Chain A
């Protein structure tokens, strides 16, 4: 009952406030990524089968200089599922100048123990043999891979110094349109070099390289 009252009050408040939509979209070969299909790349092709990531600590800076930080800001995004790619953030309705967020789960949260919702370890974004969240996962196959069966799998995470793989992304917004964040995989796969790296599944130097490379794939689609 108490819960219902809270819920009702919350509902009333929330129905007055406004929510900003952010859409995430993966792009390969200048087209929205299609999963489980061979997309031309570098004279060959890449087939992405899985692509998930955590977006956390979403923050807006407004044109008037003020800012907004989402509370409990942890979102698991499955790029294969369009519904999962839309975030609705309840902020003050003001014109946004800059958007920032983290890719992955911060170290403080990693130290807090068991969680539910998007942070539930059953979501497949938690290592079992070693504790810690996986910040992002991308798996698939390509003839470019040096591995057997031409498979690649990157499970990137780690929150302990010096291999804290979380990445902070800051994007400037120019026009007043909706926010669409594109993740351009062409540059990512070029730097990763599938003929040299096909598997990174634990925290460390290699994971740091992949995470830093991944950071550069984010782009705000304006207008």
Chain B
């Protein structure tokens, strides 16, 4: 009998320990669709999120400990690589694509410009193993983390395991990135009836709905599909986009339709960073669409916008900039 009580007490203590798991949920506006990330396999936990945040800013992921994820994904440019057409990696070598901004990733099914990655957890395998990005192996990263007392304690505490497994590292990084939710731009405040567009933005919004929303669909400003928006192939990079992954001719020159949220912070634009400004982008859509076998039919019809209308469209696009996201300290370098 005494023994039984002893076991009971022990069990209760155990449950108390287990209860430290504080499942939290991401919050987003009612007009957002349901996220697609498989949260059931990676339940959000504040401690794991903060662990993921430490990892995101830690150069341990590169072979010479010089480059962290944040080197190419800076919080101040909505986690894109501003000013660099093609992202710079280890030894200042130049990659072959522009680093996209990172936000609202819980809604995204395909990652990378060609959709090479289909799950956020698995994405870090790509830059870590890329010889011009971080030139490292995850196995070695884990070995390095295992020698770092700060990390071994954190991992043991959260995952109740004496060794660090790749699953824990990948899930932690994913958790931090899943919390990068951008939904406080002026556009959102208007949606929530907290403010109004000015006249210029209003007219720009109309133009947007007529010409751009087909692909950059509200409220996330992408329909998460792939398309050829007629920018033509760069003769040096010869990047065929989605076709590399699917091996279908019909997918030649198709790229992920990027969200236009935070677009003011993520220049230069397109997968190879070829356009410096939104004006150049809009001039492209109006005047320079290259029609090839796979150019989206929606763009076959010429978009005719006057100089004024182009300026109005740019004004609207700037209402998608979310400064509260950029300045959210919870996303910054952990101290």
Contact = CB atoms under 8 A, between A and B. Distances in A.
Contact of B174 (A113, A129, A204, A205): A113
A148 interface: no
Contacts of A128: 125-126, 128-130
Contacts of A203: 247
Interface of A is mostly: loop
Interface of B is mostly: helix
A6 to B, nearest CB: 11
A114 B130 contact: no
Interface in B112-145: 116-123, 125-126, 128-130, 138-139, 142
Interface in A1-29: 1-3, 5
Interface stretch (B25-33, B165-173, B295-303, B308-316): B165-173
A116 B170 CA distance: 11
Interface stretch (B10-18, B148-156, B209-217): B10-18
Nearest to B122: A131
A114 B166 contact: yes
A113 B121 contact: yes
A104 interface: no
B328 interface: no
Contacts of B22: none
A115 interface: yes
Given A1-B14, A113-B42, A129 B130 contact: yes
Contacts of B66: none
A115 B167 contact: yes
B125 A121 contact: yes
A146 interface: no
Contacts of A121: 122, 125, 138, 166, 170
Given A113-B171, A120-B167, A129 B122 contact: no
A166 B116 CA distance: 19
B335 interface: no
A32 B186 CA distance: 69
B245 interface: yes
Contact of A163 (B120, B125, B247): B247
A39 B178 CA distance: 52
B198 interface: no
A205 B248 CA distance: 10
B108 to A, nearest CB: 13
Nearest to A130: B116
A114 B14 contact: no
Interface in A152-206: 160, 163, 203-205
A30 interface: no
Contacts of B121: 113-114
B41 interface: yes
Contacts of A114: 42, 121-122, 166-167, 170-171, 174
B247 to A, nearest CB: 4
A112 interface: yes
B240 to A, nearest CB: 14
A110 B165 contact: no
B292 interface: no
Nearest to A119: B167
B192 interface: no
Given A122-B139, A128-B129, A204-B247, A116 B116 contact: no
A126 interface: yes
A160 B171 CA distance: 23
B118 A132 contact: yes
Contacts of A3: 160
B46 interface: no
A116 B120 contact: no
A5 to B, nearest CB: 8
B38 interface: yes
Given A2-B18, A130-B116, A112 B41 contact: yes
Interface string A70-98: 00000000000000000000000000000
B189 to A, nearest CB: 34
Interface in B293-331: none
B78 to A, nearest CB: 24
A130 B242 CA distance: 12
Give the residue among A3, A114, A126 with the most B Cβ atoms within 10 A. A114
A98 B72 CA distance: 54
14 contacts: A2-B14, A2-B18, A110-B119, A113-B120, A113-B170, A113-B174, A114-B171, A114-B174, A121-B166, A122-B142, A128-B129, A130-B245, A131-B118, A131-B126
Q: Which 7 A-B residue pairs are closest in the complex by CB-CB distance?
A: A113-B121, A114-B170, A114-B121, A128-B129, A204-B247, A131-B122, A130-B116
Given A1-B14, A113-B122, A114-B167, 16 more contacts: A1-B10, A2-B14, A3-B160, A111-B118, A111-B119, A113-B120, A113-B171, A114-B121, A114-B166, A116-B165, A120-B166, A122-B139, A128-B129, A129-B129, A129-B130, A130-B116
